[in-house]
Amino acid sequence: MTLRFSRKQLIIPYSLFMVLFVVIPLLFIVYYAFTDGSTGGFTFGNFLKFFSNSTSLSTLIISIGIAILTTVVCLLIAYPIAYILARSNFKKKNVLLMLFVLPMWINFVLRINALREFLDLIGLLNKAHLFNTVLGMVYDFLPFMILPLYTTLIKMDKSLIEASADLGGNAFTTFTKVTLPLSLPGIVSGITMVFMPTMTNYVISDTLGLGHITIIGKLIEDCFGSRNDWYLGSAIALVLLFIIFISMLFTGGFKDEENGARGAGIW
């Protein structure tokens, strides 16, 4: 007997997963964010509490700042490496690539604590909290930037570069007019993979910033933990969600241009 699944049936496992672990929790967050803790009624008060607290807003700004810094540094390090790896004819480049991904297989708390000891060894640990935090974030999220960049670049049609050379483009023009626009999808997915987690990964800021750096993820954790204010915590989580939404709009915009570039710009 052969088992036959229709497309509808195949979609069931994931939709179950999605409803249980994505949709329902999200509904809970929305419910809590708009609920008054003491009366149980509907309120915007939790958002008001967040936006009227200058420390909370500063924390949000610092988180965005750290996230931007981390993303930029990751991009600056990852792009050349991904480019060189994808371009080179080096036979063992898969081994090299694996070396970049290898750290991901080791528990990240372990790696961050190792980095903490290293920073102590070179005497930086208690002197540069912000630097250490960004360093830890870059260390942790770099593979997430390299991988999408590498896959986009390796898939790129090499003949396009030859064509550019044929048409008189020098190396720099070829890069800015051909390679870079074509790798935009990789850049965008790299940015989304790095930017958002960086804003909430408070284990790194706590371990390497020694509790001197508070990011928005820590604030949410505090609300659900010692502060026991799930309402405010949910509201902050929704604010973060809104920020993701905004950045998704940017991402969508990039995709448009990329499609345009592939469809009309080149042919």
Partner 1 sequence: MKKLLSAFLTIALSVMLFVPTFAYAAEDNVLRIYNWEDYIAADDETGENLADEFQTWYNETYNANITVEYSTFGTNEIMYNELKIAPGSYDLVCPSDYMIQKMINENMVEEFSAEFLDASNETSYYSKYVSSYIKNLFGKYEVNGGKSWNNYAAAYMWGTMGYVFNPANVSSSDMKSWGAIWNIMYDNQSTLKDSVRDTFFIGLAFVYRDELNTLAADYQNAVLQYNNGIIDEAQFNAKAKQYNDAISVILNRTDDETLAKVEAALNAAKQNIFGFEVDSGKNDMITGKININLAWSGDAVFAMDQADENGVELYYTVPDEGSNIWFDGWVMPKGANTKLAEAFINYISMPEKACENMDYIGYTSAIAGDAVFDRMVEYYELSTEEGEGLTAVDLGYFFTDLTEGRSAVVYTDTVGRQFSAQYPDKDTVNRCAIMSYFPDDVNEKVNLMWENVKGTQFPVWVIFVIIGAIAIGVAVYFIVKSNKGRRRPKKGYKVISKG
d(CA 76, CA 79) in angstroms, rounded, equals 6
CB of 210 to partner 1, least distance (A): 3
Instruction: Determine, following the binding rule CB under 8 A, whether residue 201 of this chain makes contact with partner 1.
Output: no
Q: Which of 21, 44, 58, 242 binds partner 1 (CB under 8 A)?
A: 58
**Cα-to-chain-centroid distance, residue 232:** 24
Are the CB atoms for 63 and 199 separated by under 8 Å?
yes
Q: Which of 38/89 has CB closer to partner 1? A: 38
Instruction: Determine, following the binding rule CB under 8 A, whether residue 249 of this chain makes contact with partner 1.
Output: yes
Q: Which of 36, 94, 120, 171 binds partner 1 (CB under 8 A)?
A: 120
Q: How many residues bind partner 1 (CB under 8 A)?
A: 44
CB of 197 to partner 1, least distance (A): 20
CB of 42 to partner 1, least distance (A): 14
Specify the DSSP element, H or E, that contains 257: helix 230-260
Instruction: Determine, following the binding rule CB under 8 A, whether residue 22 of this chain makes contact with partner 1.
Output: no
**Cα-to-chain-centroid distance, residue 54:** 26
N- to C-terminal Cα separation, the chain: 50
Q: Which of 156/221 has CB closer to partner 1? A: 221
Instruction: Determine, following the binding rule CB under 8 A, whether residue 180 of this chain makes contact with partner 1.
Output: no
Which residues, 6+ apart, have CB-to-CB distance to 129 below 8 Å?
Answer: 208, 209, 210, 212, 213
